[in-house]
A and B are shown apart, each in its own frame.
Chain A
Amino acid sequence: MGFYVSLAVLVLAGFVGYAVISKVPNTLHTPLMSGTNTIHGIIMMGAILVLGLAAGGVWSKVLIVVAVAFGTINVVGGFLVTDRMLEMFKPRTKPATAVEAPPPGVASSNGAGAAPGSAPTSAGGPGAAR
């Protein structure tokens, strides 16, 4: 790619990025940031290119291996932590109905069970009070 083609890609990518990211809601801004940590981990590929094709000398190799490691931390760590976070944002259709369901469930099991005294903490409390 020549300079002007590269520059065109740069400018267009900037606009596409702006258009896409503007639509991300406030709720997801933290995962967005950790997600972008993953994405700039692409720098790992730059490091691999230099290491694989050109790095000579011990010192150069040490520096560039550190760069590969840094990039990998971003890609792997960033992805895992973002995935972990986004899973928490998933609407839990099953657990959501489960939240509705437990009070009677817990209450009945308490009734059936012998010792409701030390009932499960939060669900048991109001259930017992009622």
Chain B
Amino acid sequence: MTAIVVSLPNYVQLLYIVAFALLIYGMSGLTDPRKAVRGNRIAAVGMGVALVATLVIPHIGNWGLIALGIAVGTAVGVPAARMVKMTAMPQMVALFNGVGGGAVALISWVDYRSHGSSFGAHTVHLGLIDVHFGAVPTYVAIFSVGAAIIGSISFWGSNIAFGKLQEIIPGRPISLGAAQQPVNLILFVLAIAAGVDIVAGAHSELLFIGMLVVAAVLGNFVVLPIGGADMPVVIALLNAFTGVSAAATGMALNNPALIVFGMMVGASGTILTNLMAKAMNRSIPAIIAGGFGGGGAVAGAEGAGEHAGSVRSTSAADAAVQLAYASKVVVVPGYGMAVAQAQHVVKELASDLEKRGVDVKYAIHPVAGRMPGHMNVLLAEADVPYDQLKEMDDINPEFQRTDVSLVIGANDVTNPAAKNTPSSPIYGMPILEVADSKSVIVIKRSMNPGFAGIENELYYDPKTSMLFGDAKGAVSEIIGELGEL
């Protein structure tokens, strides 16, 4: 295996250090919503410094092509970032993540093919820097090949995740069944074997391409069997992959900025993956092995029949009365609110209630929605002050003092079976204790089970009433009825 090793001039190294200092300082601003905008901008300045430092490396050529790449990327990225709806953020993040992984794989490939045929080590002196072609330290080859494999997995996995979230691909798990695990294992071993061969000095571009393709198939196979409800974990995991692969590229290219920036992303993805998995009470291997549950369109016929209790449905007028005369209301938003784009009417309803002296809070489950923090962003978009958004552990003790819990398009995160039914697939998952409140109104399109495909006992609770309808329509109706009171 051969690769390019660049020794950077001192001033470039210094600029890189400034860059990652700014990055880390900026990122630490994200710990507080009030300082976050500034933090993000400081991190961006760090990014700019790193870019400038790279461009002033002596003997950089191909300026036209560099400009072309930047122009194309800007032409695609700016409109995408401007136009994306907040409800579509999970898809956007998945897509951006994949693009990063793709860049990593491409760099490794070009790095390999540029000099794959030139045997033996030689050094070209270009003023301040030395460019080594030919035999490079083994570690460089290992990291370059590793980056290629992880980058390719991340690119294809993220694209599948995008397809599922955008509903181009069905959200339900698609798998080879029992054969899936052995097939994935074989693919993994194949990719590693090809990588080892390349590191050992095989000069075959076909082998390299083969390795990328095997990793690509693996990326597809890992994400396809994962159900919609597990998406928050998958997105976070792929995020970690892309970060780590970028850091590996940094090791291969001997570039400290790439290493530090990549590791920040790797750390972030790892933390979020763990948080999400914990919030679902599922292990990461179990999720990768393919989840329970269906997608958006699970046949709902099995609904009420077998269940002993009956479901009580209500009208918008009755719901309005119930809410208006409550003293404390907790809104529990879920994916249904995102799908219906109902965040603005939900906020409007909350404001109307507050004007009537009702205390309104929002209960946010960590895995509500399709990515970490999804609900928070939607409600922030609708101008809900973030101190009204309560995390699970803070709000759970308050349900006992709550008159009405208004569940809008959330399902599994409220299911008491997670606490009461050891045989349930979601048993042990921490839930929002909605059933503790004095009464519950559930806004839901139909009796279809949620993404986990599990019956929700909450709906059969005598204090629960169901308001069937699209979240936006139903909430608007309640607002209308509230005006009549």
Chain A residues in the interface with B (C-beta under 8 A): 1, 3, 6-7, 9-10, 13-14, 16-18, 20-57, 59-61, 63-92, 95-96, 99, 103, 122, 125-126, 129
Contacts and interface: CB of A to CB of B under 8 A. Distances in A.
A30 B306 CA distance: 39
B111 A35 contact: no
Interface of B: 4, 6, 20, 23-24, 27-28, 30-34, 36-37, 40-41, 43-44, 47, 50-51, 54-55, 57, 59-63, 65-66, 68-70, 72-74, 76-78, 80-82, 84, 86, 89, 92-93, 96-97, 99-100, 102-104, 106-107, 109-111, 113-115, 126, 131, 133, 137, 139, 235-236, 239, 242-243, 246-247, 249-251, 253-272, 275, 348, 351-352, 355-356, 364, 366, 371-374, 376-377, 380-381, 383, 385-386, 389, 391, 479, 483, 485
A30 B374 contact: yes
B31 A25 contact: yes
Given A26-B364, A29-B272, A64-B107, 18 more contacts: A24-B31, A26-B373, A31-B377, A32-B30, A32-B268, A35-B27, A36-B264, A40-B242, A45-B50, A52-B61, A57-B114, A73-B80, A74-B73, A76-B78, A78-B96, A91-B34, A122-B351, A125-B479
B269 to A, nearest CB: 7
Most buried by B among A48, A91, A96: A48
B69 A67 contact: yes
A47 B69 contact: yes
Contacts of A54: 4, 111, 114-115, 131, 133
Contacts of A50: 4, 107, 110-111, 114, 253
Nearest to A22: B271
Contact of B257 (A45, A78, A92, A99): A45
Contact of B352 (A24, A33, A59, A125): A125
Contacts of A83: 37, 40-41
Given A23-B31, A49-B6, A122-B348, A36 B243 contact: yes
Nearest to A16: B24
A34 B374 CA distance: 12
Nearest to B102: A70
Given A38-B43, A80-B82, A25 B258 contact: no
A55 B270 CA distance: 33
Closest 7 CB pairs of A and B: A72-B73, A68-B69, A17-B267, A29-B373, A77-B77, A52-B60, A29-B372
A105 to B, nearest CB: 14
Contacts of A63: 106, 109-110
Contact of A81 (B63, B92, B259, B268): B92
Contacts, number: 387
Contact of B391 (A26, A44, A91): A26
A50 to B, nearest CB: 6
Contact of B376 (A13, A28, A75): A28
A70 B99 contact: yes
B266 A74 contact: no
25 contacts: A1-B256, A6-B259, A17-B265, A17-B267, A18-B267, A20-B267, A21-B30, A21-B264, A26-B366, A28-B33, A28-B376, A29-B373, A31-B36, A33-B268, A36-B269, A42-B262, A43-B107, A48-B51, A52-B60, A54-B4, A54-B111, A65-B68, A77-B76, A89-B36, A95-B383
Given A16-B24, A32-B373, A68-B70, A6 B258 contact: no
Contacts of A32: 30, 268, 272, 372-373
B355 A47 contact: no
Contact of B74 (A67, A76, A81): A76
A122 B355 CA distance: 11
A60 B110 contact: yes
Contacts of B47: 38-39, 41-42, 75, 79
A30 B372 contact: yes
Contacts of A37: 93, 96-97, 100, 239
Most buried by A among B33, B60, B96: B96
Contacts of B364: 26
B265 A27 contact: no
A75 B46 CA distance: 11
Nearest to B26: A35
A25 B372 CA distance: 11
Contacts of B381: 88
Contact of A89 (B102, B255, B386): B386
A30 B40 contact: no
A7 B335 CA distance: 42
A25 B239 CA distance: 18
A43 B126 CA distance: 23
Nearest to B382: A88
Given A32-B272, A84-B81, A46 B107 contact: yes
A117 B418 CA distance: 50
A74 to B, nearest CB: 5
A96 B374 CA distance: 23
B261 A28 contact: no
Contacts of A7: 251
A42 B69 contact: no
A27 B369 CA distance: 13
B255 A46 contact: yes
A3 to B, nearest CB: 5
